[in-house]
Structure 1
Amino acid sequence: MRQNPARRTALLDAAIEVLAREGSRGLTLRAVDKEAAVPTGTASNYFTNRADMLAQVVRRTRERLTPDPAELADTMTAEPSHELVRTLMLQLVKRMRRDRSSHLAMLELRLEATRRPELHTELTRFLTAELDANIDFHLGSGLPGDRSGVVLLYLAMLGLIVDDLTVPELLTPHRLDALVDTMVTRLLPAAPA
C-alpha cells in the first residue's frame, strides 16, 4: 500500500468529487484515477478495495467540513447565547455552500450504507462520534439548550442542508437566516432565570 499522504489526499478529494457528481454507482477506482488526473491503477495502490476507499472518504469529508480552528476560536469569543448559536449555524450553512461536494458525497455515503453493512457500521460509528462531539462542544461551551435540544437542532439543520443541497428553490421563498433563528430559539429554550 502506498504511503504518499499528498497523493492519498488528492485521490480522496477526487473520490468525493466523483461521488458528488455521479453518485455511488459512478465511484470506481478507475473513475477516481481519471478525476485525480493520475495514471490508471494509482488508486488501487492506495486502497485495498472499494470499501476501504469509502471508509477513507468518510474520514476525509470530516477533514474538509471541520470549521477552521482560527475562525471558530474567533466566533467563540462571543458570550454564549442564542445569537452565538445562530451565528454557528449560519457558518455551517456557508461551509456547506463552499464545499457542496463533501456534503453531497456524505449523502451518497448514507444511501450506500443502506446497502453495504460494512459501510453502515463505519458510518454509524463515525456519525455517532460526530454527533456526540457536537453535543459535548455545545454543552461544554455553555450555549443555551440541553442535550435533546442540541439533537433536535442537529436534525433540523440536517434537513435544511439536505434541502439546500438538493432542491434549493424550496427554501427560496423563506429567509434562511430567519429559519435558522426560529430553529435556534424554539429548539433551545433559554435557561430559567
Structure 2
Amino acid sequence: MTSNPTRRTALVNAAIEVLAREGARGLTFRAVDQEAGVPNGTSSNYFANRDDLLRQVGEHVHVRLTPDARRLAETMAAPKDKTLVERLLHELLERLQTDRTGYLALLELRLEATRRPELRAALTKTISENLEENVRFHLDAGLPGDRTTVVSLYLAMSGLMTEHLTLPGVLPEEEMTHVIKALVDRT
C-alpha cells in the first residue's frame, strides 16, 4: 500500500463526504477517487479493502470533529460552573453543524457497524475512548457533576444532534438552547 499521509487524509476526507451523501452502499473506491479528484484506482493503493477504508474513516472522523485546541483553551478560562458546561455543549453543536457531513458519516458508520463485526469492534473502541476522554476532561477541569453527569449529557446530546442534523426542522434553534440549558440544570 502507498504511504503518502497527506494523500491518505485527503482520500479519507473524501470518503467521509461520500459516506454522508450516499450512505455505506455508495462508498466505493471509485466514488472516493471521484470525490477526491484523483485518478481511478488511487484509493485501492491506499486501503487494503473496503473494511480497511471504513475503519480508517471511523478513526479519522473523530479527528475532524475534535474541538480546536486554542478555542477550547479560551472557553475553559471561564469559571467552572454550569454556564461553562452549557457553553461547551453549544460549541459542540456548533462544531457538528459546521461539519455536518462528518457527523452524518459517523451515523452511517454506526449503522454499517451493526453488519460488520470488525468495524463494530473498531468503532466501539474509538467511541469508548472518546467518551472516556470526555469524562476525564470534565472531571479534571473541575466542571460540576460526576461520571454519570458526563455520560448522561453525552447520550442526550447524541440524540439532540442526530435529530437536528438529520431532521433540522423538528427542533427550532431557540428550543435547542432551552433543551441544552434544561439538560445541564438537571444534571
Cα offset for 1:118? Answer: 0.4
Q: Who is 2:127 aligned against?
A: 127
How large is the RMSD of aligned CA atoms in angstroms?
0.9
Amino acid at match of 2:36: A
Amino acid at match of 1:22: E
Instruction: Count how many residue pairs are aligned between Structure 1 and Structure 2.
Output: 187
- State the identity %: 55
For each residue in 1:80-133, what CA deviation from the matched residue of structure 2 results, as whole angstroms up to 9, or x when unmatched?
Answer: 100000000000000011000000000000000000000000011111100000
Cα offset for 1:149? Answer: 1.2
Amino acid at match of 2:117: P
Q: Who is 1:116 aligned against?
A: 116
Distance 1:8 1:134 in 2: 27
Distance 2:179 2:167 in 1: 16
Q: Where in structure 1 do 4 or more consecutive aligned residues deviate above 3 Å?
A: none
Distance 1:46 1:173 in 2: 41
TM-score normalised by the chain length of structure 2: 0.98
Given that 2:16 and 2:57 are in contact with CA atoms closer than 8 Å, whether structure 1 keeps it comes out as: yes
Instruction: Structure 1: state its 5+ residue gaps.
Output: 188-193
TM-score normalised by the chain length of structure 1: 0.95
Amino acid at match of 1:112: E
Cα offset for 1:173? Answer: 7.8
Aligned residue for 2:169, secondary structure, equals helix
Q: Who is 2:88 aligned against?
A: 88
Aligned residue for 2:144, secondary structure, equals coil
Cα offset for 1:5? Answer: 1.1
Cα offset for 1:174? Answer: 5.2
